[in-house]
Amino acid sequence: MSTESVLAVLWVVVSFNLLLTLRLASKMRKGVPPPASASPEVPSVPTGAAAPPFEATTLDGRPFSLREYENRAVTFVFFYHGCATCRSHFPTISRLFAIAQRANSELVLVTYDEQKDSRPATEEMVKEFRIPAKVLFVPLGHELEKTYNPRKATPFFIHIENGIVRRNGGLGGDEWDQLVAEWHAKAEAGRRLIRKFA
């Protein structure tokens, strides 16, 4: 076989391989959710809008109502027990819980009851990372999914102050980083105030 023939065969093989790779990538892209740090294109509850009320149940069976937070701040972090990106954020979430509290805010986690192993897997994850936050365990189709996170993006957050949505987006994004910086600043200001009057 001549060099030209080998190159021609090689060209056909490489072209065919490239075509298959592009087709496979296209099929995978259709079934893969957007990156974790991406916020929904059109959030159902945009920043500045009133947060629609809802009621839910925590992982340990206690009732929860957004009305309890009408005059304070709360941040909902949506996660999924099978999400590797969510797992990578959990050590930070554990530490941020106390900082958020010192900043007069509460961190509440949200996950969906979508598979038969969702509850035990979620309980194990919360135990493994020693998550002190409330965990809302909601069925698919719940108000939290339909209104607050219809794309079921994870990890995704919505920060509400005095009944108004102030921030939302993916964990690790600019909005999240700014919220965490605010918590740190408020917690430090509170610490200084306590020292001043102690």
Helix (H) or strand (E) holding 28: helix 3-31
Rounded Cα distance, 28 and 116, in Å: 25
Average pLDDT over residues 18-34: 47
Q: In this predicted model, which residue has the larger pLDDT, 44 or 82?
A: 82
pLDDT at position 151? 83
- What does the mean pLDDT of the chain come to? 82
- pLDDT higher at 115 or 77: 77
Model confidence pTM above 0.85: no
For residue range 183-197, list pLDDT tens digits in order: 999 988 877 777 777
pLDDT of residue 34: 38
d(CA 100, CA 181): 10
Residue 2 — pLDDT band, cuts 50, 70, 90? confident
The pLDDT assigned to 94 comes to 85
